[in-house]
Amino acid sequence: MTYGFIGLGQMGAPMAAHLAGKGLVVYDTRAEAVQGLTAKGATAASSVAEVARAAGVVSVMVRDDDQVNEVAAEILASARAGTVLAIHSTIRARTAQELAERARPYGIEVVDAPVSGGFMGADAGTLAVMVGGTPEAFARCEEPFGAWAELVLHMGPVGAGTRTKLARNLLHFVAFTAAAEAQRLAEASGVSLRKLARVVRHSDALTGGAGSIMLRSTTAPLAPDDELYAIMRHVRALGEKDLTFALELADELGVDAPLARLALTRFAAGLGLEDLDG
């Protein structure tokens, strides 16, 4: 199967590089972005339409919803029935769903397949990809996606991949804000921020960070006979103790810590213990 890749930026270029060879057709508006892949055996296309005519699966990694819609319009006008159009950009969930509706009369299947792992994961071929689409479309994408992704998951129908990515990135970027709050507390305490960062990266690599408590299949309250009940009770005791101590220190130093205060009030509920006596 010929595979197409459109958008060879910081993420797209290393992703496509893992597929480079005679079966890969690539396009980017910047000629220099294409050269590294043609040197590895890929075929350079002169337009989006040329990629669409040649490939059975077309990956798109462009900047935003507007660019996705622009590129998709060209693909729909040129691709043959049976083509799978995979959108790797992080877009609105409804954009993927609307695009799938537009593609249906053409016999083209759309999957939204955003990725997680950054340019480092793209370069190493160890990304996670969250795929929304029909089981049939996923089956056609799973093998080529596996060339640049270590974790390939079918999340559900079109839009499910993007909804997963948005939930994942909510955690990611809220954690950045929490990291800034922690750094303010550390700095006011006279702690080296660089050494704090080393500790955080080291311990998160061992424990899995915030993902280590994402063990439940539902956010409903835990029943006392649930096997996770005792674990979450233990996590609650440790977390509430440490948050209380951190807030006491913040008050002593005059450091504003609104996320920590909010976390303390919602900590038990987040663990599924909201209806339980501490």
Catalytic residue positions? 165
Best CA proximity match to 193, nearest among 108, 79, 61, 201: 201
d(CA 85, CA 21): 20
Q: What is the dihedral of CA 177, 178, 181, 183, to 10 degrees?
A: -100
- Give the single-character DSSP code of 228: T
Angle (CA) 92-126-169 rounded to 5° is: 30
How crowded is residue 167: how many other Cβ atoms within 10 Å of its Cβ? 11
- Identity of residue 43: T
Is the CB of residue 58 less than 8 Å from the CB of residue 39?
Answer: no
Reported residue count of the chain is 278
Best CA proximity match to 165, nearest among 132, 136, 135: 132
Assigned token pair, 218: 């539902």
d(CA 20, CA 187): 47
Contacts for 193 with CB less than 8 Å, ≥ 6 apart: 183, 186, 187
Give the H/E segment covering residue 265.
helix 258-270
Taking the alpha carbons of 252, 253, 256, 260 in that order, is the dihedral positive or negative?
A: negative
Give the H/E segment covering residue 150.
strand 149-156
